[in-house]
Amino acid sequence: MKVKWLINAVVMGCSGSVFANTGPIISGPDVSVVLDGFYQDGQRAFSNRDEGFGLGHTELGLTGSVDDKFRGVLTGIFESHHGSTEIELEEAFIETLALPAGLKIKAGRFLSEFGYLNSKHTHEDAFTERPGVYRALLGSHYFDDGIQVSALLPTEFYLAVSAEAFSGKKMDAGFDDPATVGVVAGKIETGSDIGDSNSWMLGLSVLRNGNGHMQFGEHAHDHSEHEHEHEHGGHDHSSHDHGEHNHGPAYTGRMLYGADLTWKWAPQGNYKYQNLRFTAEYLYLDDLYDERFSSLDGAPSSLSGFYGAFVYQFNPNWSVSSRYSQFDHMSNHDVHGHGDHAHGHFLDEQLKEIDFAIAWHSSHFGVVRAQVSQQDYLDKRDNIVSLQYIMTFGAHGAHAF
């Protein structure tokens, strides 16, 4: 609890001059740290995790109540990337605690509710990386600056809805004059139990990206060149020249749809000794580009992908997990605008991944994982072995279903 003590000291130091000797001190914010380190002997497509030793999502989080009406969350991420340490603010939001009628408003920077995995922190995942379709269409997890209104409806069964508006800059396909509110998203979610042992949840999501489709115009040329490089990064097996390096998605379109299903089982609902979790998601990206591009050879009208994952914890200290995922997309070949028409063509591509992982849980707070992934991509089969630890200390927030 040294960190907590330190924070308390800082808080006291700051407030000392104003509220000197006012009796008991309000407890400091909850401080949580997630350490994520890995070694892997290859790199996955559309991924930011380098080959070799590296640090994944190392998180430093602060949470606390502002007052009886608001709660604040701040999460910073440290990640190694090509020998340097990147610092990113993943979450910095406030949320209401006491709105009537089951309403909640969140504002600031936060993870979008889109899909099942997206709103979760990566340290909760059962695999070293998110499935290919998530990496390619959401940049592994989409967080942005914006506002969210959500409600739990007063129905007999669980029914939750949320609506979000974001700046959308991370998902900007390269517009000269992007819309101020680039992304709006919505989600509807329901779920229930079947007896004591089974629980399920089903969600439908939609995300409209106003700046998402490939635009035809003056600068369309430059832009598609750029895209081009990106996609070909995979060809010579180095997404390394990640260009300007953003963590945004590799593919964008105007509309992204998602469906997710999660099912969990534990004997008599006792999750301590044994449990089985299954999640499947389907993502569909539509309205990819300007009309003039869609008439080109091989231009698909949409992209889609899915994954299905099982996690079986067979005793309190060990779990095994397996996942199959697929992402059907296209690569650009010399696609660019020229005068009033477009050149080039597209080729269909498919990314297939099979992952198998075994994890040792030293306790509720520590995991050491070994994972083998087989990736079929661009006529090449890669086997990637990863070793990873994820350990947390300090406060540890409760996890969502």
Partner 1 sequence: MLFNLTRLTGWLLALFSLPAHALTIFACQPDWASLAKVHAPEAEVFSATTAFQDPHFIQARPSLINKMRQADLVICSGAELEVGWLPELQRQSRNAKVSPGGEGLFFTTDYVAVLDKHDHVDRSMGDVHAGGNPHVQFAVADMINISQALSDKLQQLDPKRAAQYLQAGEAFRQRWAAKMLIWKNRALSLKGKKVVGYHATYRYLFAWLGMTQVADLEPKPGVSPTTAHLTQLAKLDPSNIYAIVYASHQNSQAAKWLAERTLLPTIVLPQSVGGNEQSHDLIALIDNSINLLLASSR
Residues that bind partner 1 (CB under 8 A): 1, 65, 68, 97-104, 151-152, 154-158, 160, 189-193, 196, 199, 201, 264, 268-273, 315-317, 363-365, 393, 397-401
Nearer to partner 1, 106 or 329 (CB): 106
End-to-end CA distance of the chain: 28
| Main-chain dihedrals φ then ψ at residue 331, nearest 5 degrees | -115, 150
Nearer to partner 1, 137 or 266 (CB): 266
- Closest alpha carbon to 303 in 189, 228, 214: 214
User: Least distance to partner 1 from the beta carbon of 321, Å?
Assistant: 17
Whole-angstrom distance, CA of residue 377 vs CA of residue 383: 11
User: Least distance to partner 1 from the beta carbon of 247, Å?
Assistant: 27
- Closest alpha carbon to 44 in 299, 389, 301, 323: 323
CB 82 within 8 A of CB 52: no
- Closest alpha carbon to 305 in 329, 286, 321, 289: 329
Long-range contacts of 312-318 (CB under 8 A, 24+ apart): 312/275, 312/276, 312/277, 313/271, 313/274, 313/275, 313/276, 313/361, 314/274, 315/273, 315/274, 316/272, 316/273, 316/361, 317/360, 317/361, 317/362, 318/358, 318/359, 318/360, 318/361
User: Least distance to partner 1 from the beta carbon of 215, Å?
Assistant: 39
CB 209 within 8 A of CB 254: yes
Signed CA dihedral, 116, 122, 128, 132: sign only: positive
CB 39 within 8 A of CB 396: no
- What stretch of H or E contains 371? strand 366-377
Nearer to partner 1, 381 or 399 (CB): 399
User: Least distance to partner 1 from the beta carbon of 275, Å?
Assistant: 9
User: Least distance to partner 1 from the beta carbon of 365, Å?
Assistant: 6
Nearer to partner 1, 196 or 241 (CB): 196
User: Least distance to partner 1 from the beta carbon of 154, Å?
Assistant: 8
Nearer to partner 1, 151 or 179 (CB): 151
Count how many Cα atoms sit within 13 Å of the Cα of residue 151 in the half-sphere of its side chain: 7
Nearer to partner 1, 58 or 150 (CB): 150
Q: Two tokens at 49? A: 């995790």
Q: Which amino acid is it at 349? A: E
Nearer to partner 1, 53 or 273 (CB): 273
Nearer to partner 1, 89 or 97 (CB): 97
Give residues with Cβ within 8 angstroms of 16, minimum separation 6.
none
Give residues with Cβ within 8 angstroms of 204, minimum separation 6.
187, 188, 189, 257, 258, 259
User: Least distance to partner 1 from the beta carbon of 147, Å?
Assistant: 17
Nearer to partner 1, 239 or 275 (CB): 275
Alpha-carbon Rg for the chain in angstroms: 22
User: Least distance to partner 1 from the beta carbon of 190, Å?
Assistant: 7
Nearer to partner 1, 39 or 360 (CB): 360
Q: Two tokens at 273? A: 């000794």
User: Least distance to partner 1 from the beta carbon of 119, Å?
Assistant: 11
User: Least distance to partner 1 from the beta carbon of 65, Å?
Assistant: 7
